[in-house]
Chains A and B, each alone.
Chain A
Amino acid sequence: MEFVVEMLNIRKEFPGVVANDDITLQLRKGEIHALLGENGAGKSTLMSILFGMYQPDRGTIKVRGEQVKIANPNVANKLGIGMVHQHFKLVSNFTVTENIILGNELKRGLALNIKGAARRIEELSKRYGLNVDPYAKIEDISVGMQQRVEILKMLYRDAEVLILDEPSAVLTPQEIDELIKIMKGLVAEGKSVIVITHKLKEIKAAADRCTVIRRGKTIGTVDVATTSELQMAEMMVGRSVTFKVEKKPSQPGDVILKLEGLTVNNNKNVPGLKDFNLEVRAGEIVGIAGVEGNGQSELVEAITGLRKSEAGRIILNGQEITSHSIRNRINNGVAHIPEDRQKRGLVLDYTLEENMILQVYKREPFSKRGILNKGAIRKYASGILESFDVRSGRGPVSVSRSLSGGNQQKAIIGREIELDPSLLIAVQPTRGLDVGSIEYIHKRLIGHRDRGKAVLLISLELDEVINVSDRIAVVNNGELIGIVNAAETNENEIGLMMAGVGKGGDQ
């Protein structure tokens, strides 16, 4: 059997952690190979080694049978290895073509030959069914298309092996289907693909083989066709898992949050949320389903006070808070797990313990008359980190930036739940997380509900909304299309509503 890339017995150690310990991954020519593992299992490190960003401490890498030393990403490029990072590396006010040729410009004399490059990009785009307009500006195109630009960037550089790091994390369900189609098109043309993911459904739908790693060790490589999702999940987590979210029927109590005719402007200063009415009761989880950009951010930011509302009222526990300050709302029982953990959720250069008191540093015992009490802070933070199993190099004094994404998310969720809020707003709480963490976070959200609190869940993952919520409010274009009971609905019905078709056929 011919392997394009072989990584044999790779070991990589960072101060205090062994990220990769004897990992072996062999990529066949023309296959889609999934790399599956929990957060912090060592997937990204392994791929960074292949892409030349880290040097392995031990082990060998072979490309097309020859042993190579990949000193930096340029070497990787020359060997035909390209990588699409989870966070795209695109210049937003450049066109697609300009972004793709950046660093590899096609020249005619001293001038750039943009037209020639654009032609080639168009050809590639057609050949692989990427459907990208070479002259569009990055800031004007969807996230899905941006990702395809990243893929084009590698194809433009004649990459034979494509590494995709969590490609579906930023995509809507439809875009994910399209991505899978594209990946299949790539291998049909003779390319080989490594896809880092922990979404089993997608592995099942796209991949030929799957290598599972756990805590820096290879657990095994399996044929996807003959392995069930459950088996792969168990290999990944190392114990048996359930996909079903266990929960008792909800027992709704008093109305905690009431929105009346809420209208909120979006960034373009036109209404992004229009005349929105919703009630969330104690002891229930209300999910918001909708395609990204249909008013969810405006809704969340209006309730939390990050954005002002143009009209309507927000009532929390019977008290109107429409024009209250953010801090005031927090003190009155609103907690918020933000969509973007690195932008909003954490001060990345603060230590974990400093981040754990982000909202409560002014309360006793964390400070008294303006002076911080480090002992009390340490104790409080350690408690959260322990009970939410946040893994870090140096515990509460670790710099937050150094944590893996999943652990950062767990820290934020721990902090917010620890506030014991009467209303917990969770936006994409499991985005980019692995099965084990997702299971855990869902349990925590339901636990919060069962303590008689209200939870508002905003997610783009339909599975998550349906499985975790008690009631589901569907939004489209900033308007509430309808509210359904989670137990009495299915993906089909909600999918139609997400497309703007009202419940029961009325517009």
Chain B
Amino acid sequence: MRNFIISLSAVVFGLIGGAILMAVTGHDPMEGYRFLFQGGLKNISRFGDTLATGTPLIFTGLSVAFAFRTGLFNIGAAGQMLFGGFCASIIGLKLDASGAVLIPLMIIAAILGGAVWAFIPGLLKARFNVHEVVSTIMMNWIAYWTIYYAVPAYLKAESVETESRALPDKATLKAAWLSDMFGGSYVNMGLFLAVIVVIIIAFIINKTTLGYELKAVGFNRHSAEYAGIGVNRSIILSMLISGALAGLAGLAQYAGNGNNIQIGVLATQGYDGIAVALLGANSPIGVLVSALFFGLLYSGRGFMNAMTDIPPEIADSIIAIIIYFAATSVLMNRVITWFLGRRRANAGSAVSGKGKV
């Protein structure tokens, strides 16, 4: 409940901050926000695009949140996502099979690709106590250059050097009926996959012995060790799962929202996952909601830009301010405590002091 209030006030403060920015730069904030939200929600097709934009963010957000719950800071979601998406693309491009066979294989490939990419930092952490922040960032760049080499070498498009061939439709998460239902939007089956995965992860974290072990290690590895929980095993396992989730983000991005991989790009969704996890207070449901909210901002900002002369950077600034407030949740927590204390003091008649802390 408190986490929800913190996240919500972070959003509110972010929007207020954005309004101030718009006003200061000589624009009408109300108009700006009208177009921003219309851009994401105006009609069914735009709403579909919002959902689609949010889909990879659900996965990367979950990836970061899951690792975080077990005491690990996985900031390598971008690389894991890239490699997972690459593995899935290989299957999609090289294997000649029907969609019913291809899609499950691609899902598995994305999971494995992401997991392998996260396994290395996990192993380094468990065996040699190498900090995962450093090693996951390095793995990002290893993924970047691996793809830089491998895509032109093996998956090159006909005419363009900088991206892979387009996946055939049967090898993507696109579904005509879904697209039609949302008025031609590029929303795809990735969204359903994301919701299912949210439920699975929530279940693992809250209801299973595995989640219990991983959280115990995250909170206090000394007492986890004392209780006979394999700390190193838990670290590796947690990174594997986190990486697998990021790998699925790659599938959703490169074989769902898009249909090929570009070289020389580390997807921004990887880093945005950190923000999504933060705003979602590291809970799976929170991640789902905050990912969709970010999706709304991202898909609405183009419309705002087109309809007004407010620069799209304003939308980015709003996101940045929101992240700021979500990241300073300790501070927010204190503000809320102070606020509640004051209300209680006021209600509590005679005893109340000056409300000074």
Interface residues of A (CB under 8 A from B): 55, 57-58, 71, 304-306, 325-330, 336, 338, 343-350, 354, 358-359, 361-362, 367, 370-372
B352 CB → nearest A CB, Å: 10
Distance of A344 Cα from B231 Cα, bound (Å): 13
Is the C-beta of B328 less than 8 angstroms from some C-beta in chain A?
Answer: no
Distance of A372 Cα from B212 Cα, bound (Å): 9
B219 touches A344 (CB 8 A): no
B209 touches A347 (CB 8 A): no
**Which residues of chain B have C-beta atoms less than 8 A from A330's C-beta?**
227-228
Known: A344-B222, A344-B223, A348-B220. A371 touches B228 (CB 8 A): no
A372 touches B228 (CB 8 A): no
CB within 8 Å: A-B pair count: 70
A362 touches B220 (CB 8 A): no
Known: A325-B228, A347-B216, A358-B216. A370 touches B210 (CB 8 A): yes
**Which residues of chain B have C-beta atoms less than 8 A from A345's C-beta?**
223, 226
**Which residues of chain A have C-beta atoms less than 8 A from B209's C-beta?**
361-362, 367, 370-372
A326 touches B225 (CB 8 A): yes
**A-B residue pairs, 3 tightest by C-beta:** A327-B228, A326-B228, A358-B227
B149 CB → nearest A CB, Å: 41
A306 touches B226 (CB 8 A): yes
Is the C-beta of B207 less than 8 angstroms from some C-beta in chain A?
Answer: yes
Interface residues of B (CB under 8 A from A): 207-210, 212-213, 215-216, 219-220, 222-230, 351, 353, 356
B220 touches A58 (CB 8 A): no
Contact partner, B207, options A71, A336, A354, A371, Cβ 8 Å = A371
Residue pairs across A and B with Cβ atoms less than 8 A apart, 9 shown, are A306-B226, A325-B230, A338-B226, A343-B223, A359-B228, A361-B213, A362-B209, A367-B209, A371-B207
Distance of A328 Cα from B228 Cα, bound (Å): 8
B214 CB → nearest A CB, Å: 12
A22 CB → nearest B CB, Å: 14
B101 CB → nearest A CB, Å: 30
Distance of A477 Cα from B97 Cα, bound (Å): 72
Distance of A57 Cα from B351 Cα, bound (Å): 7
Distance of A325 Cα from B228 Cα, bound (Å): 7
B212 touches A361 (CB 8 A): yes
**Which residues of chain B have C-beta atoms less than 8 A from A343's C-beta?**
220, 222-223
A397 CB → nearest B CB, Å: 14
Known: A347-B220, A348-B219, A372-B207. A354 touches B212 (CB 8 A): yes
B208 touches A371 (CB 8 A): yes
A324 CB → nearest B CB, Å: 10
**Which residues of chain B have C-beta atoms less than 8 A from A71's C-beta?**
356
The residue of chain B having its C-beta at the shortest distance from the C-beta of A372 within the complex is B207
B279 CB → nearest A CB, Å: 21
The residue of chain A having its C-beta at the shortest distance from the C-beta of B352 within the complex is A57
| Residue of B210, B216, B225, B351 with most chain A CB atoms under a 10 A cut-off | B216
**Which residues of chain A have C-beta atoms less than 8 A from B225's C-beta?**
306, 326, 344
**Which residues of chain B have C-beta atoms less than 8 A from A361's C-beta?**
209, 212-213
The residue of chain A having its C-beta at the shortest distance from the C-beta of B348 within the complex is A57
**Which residues of chain B have C-beta atoms less than 8 A from A346's C-beta?**
220, 223
B208 touches A350 (CB 8 A): no
Distance of A55 Cα from B355 Cα, bound (Å): 11
**Which residues of chain B have C-beta atoms less than 8 A from A372's C-beta?**
207-209, 212
Besides A71-B356, A346-B220, A361-B213, 14 new A-B residue pairs in contact (Cβ under 8 A), listed by A number: A55-B353, A325-B228, A329-B228, A343-B223, A345-B226, A347-B219, A347-B224, A348-B220, A350-B215, A350-B219, A358-B216, A362-B209, A367-B209, A371-B208
Distance of A350 Cα from B228 Cα, bound (Å): 17
Distance of A367 Cα from B207 Cα, bound (Å): 9
B282 CB → nearest A CB, Å: 13
The residue of chain B having its C-beta at the shortest distance from the C-beta of A15 within the complex is B344
Known: A367-B209, A372-B212. A358 touches B223 (CB 8 A): yes
A307 CB → nearest B CB, Å: 11
Contact partner, A359, options B207, B208, B227, B230, Cβ 8 Å = B227
